[in-house]
Chains A and B, each alone.
Chain A
Amino acid sequence: MSGNKPSAIKSILTHAGVYLSLFLFLLPFLWMLLASFKTQVQILDTSKLFEITANFSNYISVFNEYSFLSFIWNSFIVGVGATVFGLILGLPAAYSIAKYKQEGLGLLILVARIVPGISFLIPWFIIFSKLQLIDTYTSLILSHMLVTMPFIIWVMIPFFEGLPHELEESARVDGCSIPSAFVRVMLPISGPGIVTSSILAFIFSWNNFMFSLILAGDNTKTLPIAVFNFISYSEINWGGLMAASVIITAPVLILALFAQKYIIAGLTGGSVKG
């Protein structure tokens, strides 16, 4: 009996420690949510810090005055485009790297992760200007693919390594070429990996700021740029800004819940399985 007491106290302290840290890490999100429902007057009055009102005017103004629907659409198109083309290039590459142990190519993909994105911004801007592709989905999707494709390859290499390769061999005995065995046999059984890597890739395109800052224009402005532009007004509309922040982060947070098992693996380039 006496041995139970210290361990009970230890357990309570551990729980307190974990949940308190969790609370602190979630606090900024709660803060954002709270402020998004406040009027400017309420935000500027710090004596009413925790006054909660169900006031949707910030959200309405974000859509009506700042036309956020079109920015959501732009981010969506670029994210889907960059993910789909990232899959088309990335899946066969990941499969080949996994199957034939092409470690050199794996290293090239790692380098793509290491190189600072800003070192190709100037050439991109010059070349895309010459091709008159600034402010088009084409340049945005191409640039975002440099984010999505490496992610897809990293997540899929260990996934493909775990597949039984006899399946491909038996399909080939039945007269399939390797590409058609890959598409008809290997890809269908890779569904879960493809879905989670796509979700991750989409999130990282959705979040991308630097590439869009240079390549997007009035017609293709993505959400991060639109949210950023909020602070360039002389008086910051805090409620609107926080509502906009909720709108941009909510889809990502929801998507992340679906891909949670693979997020750590994706962020660490497959070196750690979460």
Chain B
Amino acid sequence: MIPLSWYLTLSAALFSIGMFGVLARKNAVAILLGIELMLNAVNINLVSFWRYNNPVLMDGQVFAIIVFAVAAAEVAVGLALVISIYRRRNTVVADEIDLMKW
């Protein structure tokens, strides 16, 4: 049988990889890709906690579903912003979008 620790370690590793993507990538779309990885790590955690505590209580799965909804909303708004910025300033490199920087 697989102990819970395997799932938690995998999810921590996936979260860290996603975080590296968010911090290190230049392209704004690539940063959003990293955020997707982090959200997926959260989902793996939620579902494995559901399975390893008491499978009759559905809380973990419900939270996972809500994470899906949030992820979809985040991607829709995020990509709309990226496309809008690209139209106005002709760049998707996060460092060059510095109009609000003081």
Q: Is the A/B pair a real complex? A: no
Taking Cβ atoms with an 8 Å cutoff, the residues of B that contact A are none
Taking Cβ atoms with an 8 Å cutoff, the residues of A that contact B are none
